[in-house]
Chain A
Amino acid sequence: MSGMKSAFSFDGIQIAFTSGQSIMQAVLDGGGYIPHLCYHPQLSVHGSCRLCMVKVGDRYLSACTTEAQNGMQVENQISELRELRLKLLEMLFAEGNHFCPSCELSGNCQLQALAYELGMTHSRFPLQYPTRKRDGSHATVFLDRDRCINCEICVRASRELDGKNVFSLSGRGSDTALQINSEDGRLGSTDLIATDSSARLCPVGALVFKQGNYAERPNERLYDTHIISETGNRRPAVVSGGYPELGE
């Protein structure tokens, strides 16, 4: 059966998949889009952001962790899922400190782009105004934990793509926070370099470069001119410190 082409229904469209592929992989390979933040095709699956929840029959399943099945009926663009995703996004905004007007990633930020996509106008949850520690100790990379959404992409990228172990998540529940794996806990004491994938795949403005910022005017940035469901999650080279783009 391995390698045999099968198909499932995705909002009424037939999506072909290879055995072992997740719903997410199959949809992305087929040119479709399911909202997501913690998924990255080059990395192992994390399944934490829950934005990729789809409805299969009467069950809600995360598309990135659910294997595609032949004949499966998958619903994605339905109002009940939109409402659930909207709440998740609102919680992410409420528990961080996402001041978009001055953020380097504004216009190229996947969190912001998804908020636009889903029509978010405000958060219904109390804003937490966190004051987590920023880390500017590295020569070229800056960490703002208040913008971190704990997606763990940097953690996995460091281990799986860079062959390093710079980042980890520690703590539980609302205390979960990104930690730096060095003796003094500072980014500047690690072997992270600017060309590392882990420094370039952050979907929000938590990990940014210290130089080369704001290279584009408003209305010229990726998600100023495209909605994320058209382009998929993508971080352009201009916000990756000018290094070659890492495609999703």
Chain B
Amino acid sequence: MRDKTDKLRRIAIEPVTRVEGHGKVTLLLDEEGRVVQARLHIVEFRGFEKFIQGHPYWELPLLVQRLCGICPVSHHLAAAKAIDQIVGVETLSPAALKLRRLLHFGQVLQSHALHFFHLASPDLLFGYDSEISKRNILGVLHKHPQLALQGVKIRKFGQQIIEAISGKRIHGIAAIPGGMNKALAPSVVSTLQTSIREILPWATQALELAKQLCLADRVHFDGFASLPSRYLSLVAPNGALELYDGKLRIRNSDGSSYIDQFDPCAYDQLINEEARDWSYMKFPFLIAEGPEQGWYRVGPLARVNNCDFIPTPKAEQARQEFLALSGDPLVHGTLAYHWARMIEALHCAEAIDLLLQDSELCSDDLQRQGQKSNEGIGVIEAPRGTLFHHYRIDDQDCVETANLIVSTTSNNHAMNESVRLVADAKLSGREITPELLNLVEVAIRAYDPCLSCATHAVGQMPLKIELHDVRQGLLHWLHKDQRGDFVAA
């Protein structure tokens, strides 16, 4: 029976080499039919840490941004921050720093809008068991055209900022060692200033919608994959929400401080990664707590839970309401990621509005120089959580070693646990239903649309669920193919 299971697993993880859109979930039942193990398998191998070795360090921001088509700016900037250290630049020019911040706010705004409107809202608006052919962005466009259009335009605005600064909406060129390559033209700033006036109220409405959808079924919101956990994020020296820079803060699930103002460059004293033989994605953990107990969550929920305040007024007001309505003292419901995400989206819109009034965006004082070293660590808050880039270079200026801990990796354990909780709570009998399959997707999707299996746009999310019994091996499987059709065994 074991051989049979192994064989089927091997078939299930046939290399599916597309960058995004593939995952596999296996569930293991005990004798009482309870789900005792849930595994989210990431079946793609990227190998970036290996194949960037030998490349000159100045190529890194351009090389590693190809990790992702949704949040390439985060990788671009994390690598740039690491390279700033390699070229000995501790402090960027004010203009370069503001441009990088603006670029990053644009990135987070467009990514959050993409996730909420394109990927998550179909579930939240239509229900998890609604007709699958309509449970997508096209369905939202048909049923809620104004809402969907606003979502598309919020994302478009974020991409316009990225394009203005880096030359392209995806995979542009902006950050260089010790600074930025080009200032913004005043005419471009003026155009963006006009657009942000429209975006701000839309971001406010989107936040209100996320809140309403989350609170529409309070029992479900509080209970769905609720997962008391530690939270890790960057915060500013004064405890403010911080996306570009700052120090590490970890809170325990009861809200108490685990660690605060920890130097992110010493991350390897705090975090280690465990490799497991059933997934290409590693499992980061806090070294002091060990692999089993040391897991934590990152991303919008972690950031909103962790910070003392958000430094823009409307988002701060929303944070206080969020914690007052559902915090005890922290919010642990996995669906709360959506709400927290839209609080951050509003914060980004407010921050962009402020930055666009700063004339230094047009300054040509863009690059600093320093004393070169052979190591750099860049840490940034990507849309989906804390992102670590660590490089060492040799005496030829080429990359010797690289360590990347991407946001999704930090949520690996939590996603697996969320899948287990959902399956345990919702699995009735031993037959997997399409509703269960979608609930599993909903739990995964709340964390990270960049995850290979979390891209369900227009119903295309190839996902396979296997149900194993401890005695009988594989009981049942259900697979959703490229066209969104269900195939059962």
Contact = CB atoms under 8 A, between A and B. Distances in A.
Interface in B24-78: 54-56, 58-59, 62-63, 66
Q: Which of the listed residues B66, B171, B173 has the most CB atoms from chain A within 10 Å of its own CB?
A: B173
B63 A102 contact: yes
A104 B56 CA distance: 11
B397 A219 contact: no
Interface residues of B, number: 24
A62 to B, nearest CB: 34
Interface string A166-182: 00000000000000000
Interface stretch (A35-43, A45-53, A209-217): A209-217
Interface in B136-195: 166-168, 171-174, 176-177, 181-182
B188 to A, nearest CB: 12
Q: Kindly state the interface size class of chain A when it binds its partner.
A: 20 to 34
A218 B397 contact: no
Contacts of A137: 395-396
Given A134-B54, A136-B56, A216 B398 contact: no
Interface string A99-111: 1011110000000
Contacts of B397: 136, 142, 210
A196 interface: no
Contact of A216 (B56, B58, B181): B181
A220 interface: yes
B181 A215 contact: yes
A135 interface: yes
A101 B397 CA distance: 19
B166 A217 contact: yes
Which DSSP category, helix, strand, loop or mixed, fits chain A's interface?
Answer: loop
Given A101-B63, A102-B59, A142-B56, A214 B181 contact: yes
Given A102-B63, A134-B396, A210-B397, A217 B167 contact: yes
Nearest to B166: A217
Nearest to B165: A217
Given A101-B62, A102-B55, A102-B63, A219 B176 contact: no
B173 A217 contact: yes
A218 B395 CA distance: 30
A216 B396 contact: no
A133 B172 CA distance: 28
Contacts of B166: 217-218
Contacts of A102: 55, 59, 62-63, 66
A204 to B, nearest CB: 15
Interface in A200-228: 210-211, 213-220
A199 to B, nearest CB: 15
A218 B168 CA distance: 7
Contacts of A217: 166-168, 172-174, 181-182
Contacts of A103: 59
A210 B66 contact: no
Nearest to B87: A211
A155 B45 CA distance: 41
A219 B174 CA distance: 13
Contact of A219 (B55, B56, B168, B171): B168
Contacts of A219: 167-168
Nearest to B397: A136
Nearest to B172: A218
A147 to B, nearest CB: 11
Contacts of A134: 54, 56, 396, 398
A214 B398 contact: no
Contacts of A210: 56, 58, 397
Contacts of A142: 56, 397
